[in-house]
C-alpha cells in the first residue's frame, strides 16, 4: 500500500445566484486567476428527451447549431471567434444540450453576440443537415465496431432491456438515416427553451456584470419543454454470461454489471463508491493488482459507477488477453467474493481516508472543472457545502459501515457477466464456468 503524506481538503468556491424572470437559473463563481470567463448554458434538450426510433436527434441538432446563423456562415463565425480568441461549442448529453462559451473577459460581449445568433437564429440549412447526417452515419459505422462500444451497448441492453435507457445516445444506422430536417426543427422548437435552462459561470466576472451581459437570455421567450416519460426496466434475478461476438479479436473485454443507485452526492451511492475504493476504485486496488501486477492478464482493470437522475449501474471492467478470459473472470469473482465477505482491512481504510481527499481536491482546479462542479450543483440541486459534507464523511465514516455496503453491493452472484470477444474461440471455454450463457445480438 503506497504512502500518502497528508489529506488535502477540497473546498467549494464562493458562489453567487442570478434568477431570470423567464425561469433561467444561473450559478456562478468569480475567480481572478486569469482574465477569462467560461459559461455553460444547459438546455432541456438531451438524448433522454428524444423519442424512440429517433436516436441521434439531440446530437444532430446540436451539431447543426454550429453550422452558421441566419446572419453569417459557419466560416465567418469561426473566423471572428479566432480573432477574439474565443470558442463556442454545442454538445448534446443525456439530459441536456450544453452551449459552452469561453472568452477573454474583454471580448465577452462580442462572443456572447455570436452565441445569441447561434442559439436563437440557427441557419438550419438542408445542405448542412445532409452533410452532418452522412458524417454521423460514417461515425457510427466505425464506432460501433469497437470492442469498448460493444461492451457499453451490451451493458445497456442487459441492464435496461426495452427501455429508452438501452439506447446508444449517438444513434444507430437506422435511426440516423430516418431523421429529417423537420425533426431537427421540431426538436429545437420544443426543447431549446428558457424554461428549465441552467447556466454555470466561472471566471473574472461578477453577478451584476454577467446579468447585464446575458440580457438576451433574460429577454428569451419560450414554452416549457415536454416532460420525459417514466421508463420500466427489467428485473434481473439469475446470473448469466452474455457473449458478444467480435470475430478474431485478440483481446476480450470482461464486464461484470448490476443495477446500482441513481446519483447522489453524499448518500448511499457515495458511501458505496468509498467502499469500492480498495476493491476496484484506484490503481492499487485489489482487482487491478491481481489482474495486472500479479497475473499480467491486462494493462488495467477497474470499475465505475454510472448514475443519473433516474437509474444507476455498477460496472467492473477488464480488457484481457483472449487466452486468459475464463481465468480473469474467475479471479474477478474471487476478489469480489472475498471483499464482499470480509471487507477492507484497517490499513486500506487509512489509505482511503488520505487518498480520496487528494483525488477530490485535484478535481476542481481548472475553470472547466469548476464549471462542471457548478453545473452539477444546479443539475442535482446539491447543497452548496456538499464538498465539505463529503470531507466529513470520509473523515468520520467507520469501516464497518463501508464493509456492510460492500456485502450489499459487491456480491459477485448479483452481477451479470458480459464478454466481448471471438465467440467461436471463447464459447467452449466460458461454458466450463457452469453459468448459463447467451449470445447477445447488439443493436447498432
What distance in Å separates the CA atoms of residue 24 and residue 195, rounded to the nearest whole number?
Answer: 6
What distance in Å separates the CA atoms of residue 22 and residue 197, rounded to the nearest whole number?
Answer: 9
The reported pLDDT for the residue numbered 357 is 75
Residue 363: pLDDT band (50, 70, 90) is: confident
Residue 262's nearest CA partner among 353, 399, 333, 165 is: 165
Cβ–Cβ under 8 Å, residues 205 and 37: yes
In CATH terms, the fold of domain 16-218 is: Cytochrome Bc1 Complex; Chain A, domain 1 (3.30.830)
Instruction: Find the mean pLDDT for residues 63-79.
Output: 97
pLDDT higher than 80, residue 399: yes
Every domain of the chain and the residues it spans: 16-218, 241-439
- 119-128 residue pLDDT tens: 999 999 999 9
- 32-41 residue pLDDT tens: 889 999 999 9
pLDDT higher than 60, residue 199: yes
Residues paired with residue 418 on neighbouring β-strands, in sequence order: 242, 255
The reported pLDDT for the residue numbered 122 is 98
Secondary structure class of 21 (helix, strand, coil): coil
pLDDT higher than 80, residue 280: yes
Tell me whether the CATH fold assigned to 16-218 matches the one assigned to 241-439: yes
Mean per-residue pLDDT of the chain? 95
Cβ–Cβ under 8 Å, residues 318 and 328: yes
Residue 4: pLDDT band (50, 70, 90) is: low
| Range 241-439 classified under CATH 3.30.830.10 | yes
Give me 359's grid cell.
483525488
The percentage of residues in the chain with a pLDDT greater than 90, rounded to a whole number, is 91
The reported pLDDT for the residue numbered 5 is 53
pLDDT higher than 80, residue 9: no
Helix, strand, coil percentages in the chain from 3-state DSSP, rounded to 5: 45, 20, 35
- 297-332 residue pLDDT tens: 999 999 999 999 999 999 999 999 999 999 999 999
Give me 66's grid cell.
454550429
Instruction: Find the mean pLDDT for residues 374-390.
Output: 93
What distance in Å separates the CA atoms of residue 55 and residue 226, rounded to the nearest whole number?
Answer: 17
pLDDT higher than 80, residue 436: yes
- 209-251 residue pLDDT tens: 999 999 999 999 999 999 999 999 999 989 999 999 999 999 9
- Return all residues near 310 (Cβ < 8 A) that are at least 6 apart: 165, 231, 262
Amino acid at each position: 500500500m503506497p504512502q500518502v503524506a497528508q489529506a488535502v481538503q477540497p473546498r467549494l468556491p464562493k458562489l453567487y445566484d442570478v434568477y431570470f424572470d423567464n425561469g433561467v437559473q444561473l450559478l456562478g463563481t468569480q475567480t481572478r486567476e486569469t482574465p477569462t470567463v467560461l459559461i455553460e448554458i444547459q438546455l432541456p434538450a438531451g438524448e433522454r428527451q428524444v423519442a424512440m426510433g429517433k436516436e441521434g436527434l439531440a446530437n444532430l441538432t446540436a451539431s447543426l447549431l454550429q453550422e452558421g446563423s441566419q446572419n453569417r456562415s459557419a466560416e465567418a463565425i469561426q473566423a471572428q471567434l479566432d480573432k477574439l480568441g474565443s470558442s463556442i461549442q454545442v454538445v448534446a448529453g443525456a439530459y441536456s444540450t450544453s452551449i459552452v462559451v469561453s472568452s477573454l473577459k474583454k471580448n465577452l460581449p462580442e462572443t456572447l453576440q455570436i452565441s445569441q445568433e447561434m442559439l436563437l437564429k440557427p441557419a438550419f440549412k438542408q445542405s448542412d443537415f445532409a452533410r452532418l447526417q452522412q458524417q454521423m452515419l460514417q461515425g457510427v459505422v466505425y464506432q460501433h465496431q469497437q470492442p469498448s462500444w460493444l461492451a457499453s451497448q451490451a451493458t445497456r441492453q442487459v441492464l435496461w432491456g426495452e427501455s429508452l435507457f438501452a439506447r446508444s445516445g449517438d444513434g444507430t444506422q437506422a435511426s440516423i438515416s430516418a431523421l429529417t430536417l423537420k425533426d431537427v426543427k421540431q426538436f429545437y422548437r420544443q426543447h431549446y427553451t428558457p424554461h428549465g435552462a441552467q447556466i454555470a459561470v466561472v471566471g473574472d466576472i461578477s453577478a451584476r456584470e454577467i446579468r447585464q451581459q446575458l440580457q438576451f437570455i433574460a429577454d428569451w421567450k419560450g414554452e416549457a419543454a415536454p416532460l420525459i416519460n417514466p421508463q420500466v426496466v427489467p428485473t434481473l434475478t439469475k446470473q448469466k454470461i452474455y457473449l458478444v461476438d467480435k470475430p478474431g479479436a485478440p483481446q476480450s473485454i470482461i464486464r461484470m454489471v448490476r443495477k446500482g443507485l441513481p446519483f447522489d452526492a453524499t448518500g448511499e451511492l457515495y458511501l458505496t463508491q468509498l467502499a469500492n475504493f480498495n476493491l476496484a476504485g484506484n490503481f492499487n486496488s485489489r482487482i487491478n493488482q491481481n489482474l495486472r501486477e500479479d497475473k499480467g492478464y491486462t494493462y488495467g482493470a477497474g470499475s465505475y459507477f454510472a448514475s443519473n437522475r433516474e437509474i444507476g449501474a455498477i460496472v467492473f471492467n477488464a480488457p484481457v488477453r483472449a487466452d486468459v478470459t475464463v481465468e480473469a473472470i474467475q479471479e474477478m469473482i474471487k476478489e469480489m467474493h472475498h471483499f464482499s465477505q470480509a471487507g477492507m482491512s484497517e490499513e486500506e481504510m487509512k489509505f482511503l481516508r488520505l487518498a480520496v481527499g487528494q483525488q477530490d481536491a485535484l478535481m476542481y482546479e481548472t475553470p472547466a472543472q469548476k464549471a462542471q462542479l457548478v453545473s452539477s450543483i444546479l443539475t442535482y440541486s446539491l447543497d452548496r457545502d456538499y464538498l465539505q459534507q463529503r470531507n466529513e464523511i470520509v473523515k468520520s465514516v467507520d469501516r464497518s459501515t463501508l464493509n456492510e455496503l460492500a456485502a450489499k453491493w459487491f456480491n459477485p452472484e448479483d452481477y451479470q457477466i458480459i464478454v466481448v470477444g471471438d465467440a467461436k474461440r471463447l464459447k467452449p471455454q466460458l461454458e466450463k464456468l457452469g453459468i448459463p450463457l447467451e449470445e447477445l445480438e447488439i443493436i447498432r
